Structure 1
Amino acid sequence: MAALVIAEHNNISLKVATLNTVAAALQCAAEVDVLVIGDGTDAVAQAAAKIAGVRKVIQIDAPYFSDQLAEPVAAQILAIVSSYSHLLAPATANGKNILPRVAAKLDVAQLSDITKVVSPDTFERPIYAGNAIATVQSGDAIKVITVRTTGFDPVAANGGTASIEKCTAVTDVGQSTFVGRELTKSDRPELTAAKIIVSGGRGLGSGEKYQELIAPLADQLGAALGASRAAVDAGYVPNDYQVGQTGKIVAPQLYVAVGISGAIQHLAGMKDSKVIVAINKDPDAPIFGVADYGLVADLNVAVPELIKLLS
């Protein structure tokens, strides 16, 4: 058996999520290949070839792959996937966009958001916002899988000596056209890859308070900024800050939750964090049920004091 991992990248650099996905793939099959689809991806392919445990990197470049639209990428995957027993991609927006189309075309059931590989045909995945874990078994010839990256420690980014095989792209299916992309630029670490995250919730009361308290604390810690769904819905911060079941799934070394009560949907996105610190004035807030360290205090007093101590 061999597994094929769809690399997560931006045509320039390889995303860390690929390393977590390779870790899952190595538990599924003895041999793992990485597929790099894009435009001008030589640097990405070279980085993928250094990943520990990877046998081969398949690089396919074409101008119509530059924006990695689901339709042409899925068509390319379908052209080569028949020789693999497992097809895996990170459970990111990109992976969730492409793999369902591939699974439908293959007429197989997709295994979504897996957090553990029990055996090559049996996997665990969270359900009910992470309150229960389902064990699912697939009898399909090709297992199409999205991987919740927080469930797997990344393999080493260096040490591998995989070969790079450049293949010819399939003809563009012409079913979709890229219109535009709006990107949020920040000097802070990317939320899903950050080692430290500071998140604010509805308890802050306003977007101004978020900038007054959460941003300086994140500056002191060198952290990424996050938020609860309630804070996003209230307009305190943009929706790409959202952590939770309907936001981003994170597992940093340190997660600081300020003014976040701990609704189920938020806990589903951050409870795998290594160390969780919660600041909330309500001693009965659910967030304290998962926190390693809890401070029952007024955030308007506690956070400035914390920033002062760190500065």
Structure 2
Amino acid sequence: MNSKLMATDKHNFYSVFGNIQDETNIKNDNEIFFNKIDISNEYKYLNNPDRMISKEDNEWFFVDFNSIDFRDEILEIFNIFNNTGSYPNLSRDDFKKIKHFVYGFIYENNHIINIQNVKNGNFIKNKTLLKVISNNVKYEKAEQILTFYNEVDIFIDRNNEKIYFQDFKDLKYFNNKFLAIYKEAIEEDSANFKEFVNSNISLFSVNIPHNKIRNRNSKKLKYVLDNNMLDGFIGKENIIREYINTYNISTKLKYENDKFIIDENKDLTSLIEIIFEQHYTGAITEQHLLASGNEIVENNS
């Protein structure tokens, strides 16, 4: 297993450094990321989805991925580190697209991968700096800066087939398919969702009974509530309507008294697609596409 810092844009993998000294320097300066995480307590997420854990005390959730239907997709990442030299170095254009830093290593015969998520907030387009070098102040103008943090968002233990995380948002950002294991909404959650939408987003009338919400939508609804995603839609009815018209979503929904009616599970599916902004136009083909579930990234503004 080649222990080398890699980056991925979710489709392709790249070697971060072409210079071995840069690799050595970043490892020396960021010991937490480049070593095995010391866990004080670990909790199986499926048994403890509502547990409050302490990051300061190194408590972590884990998911057994030996039974999930995309297990091979997770294990495939380890193959990257069998031949890191076959992957290209990050180019200037690739640099702007990366979503994760990935580092694989062996610890006491265990194969481990540490992962750090890269979001919009990590990027700084340009910056002017005053630096102290050998007791002298130097001026430097830097472009395309990417902040690297000495921390791990997710790590994978291949031997035990476990993936560890402290915040479910990090796990979902790494792979949207993990949303399938998220906790389901209870009746109180459904009521809160309906009340919020009906009171704050005038385009919709949500009347779907809790017992009509199917498993997949129940988990997505719960995720929306837990992450306050609806807050971003308040006062944006014109933008929402334009989005609905652009992607012809209105053909899937009933419309009465100036509102889109959400009273069946299929209606809720359309509303959740809007909330996750899953409809988009392909950059190359310019076709209307539907994503399986978009990541929530930080905003630079």
Q: TM-score, normalised by structure 2?
A: 0.28
| Greater C-alpha radius of gyration | 2
Q: TM-score, normalised by structure 1?
A: 0.28
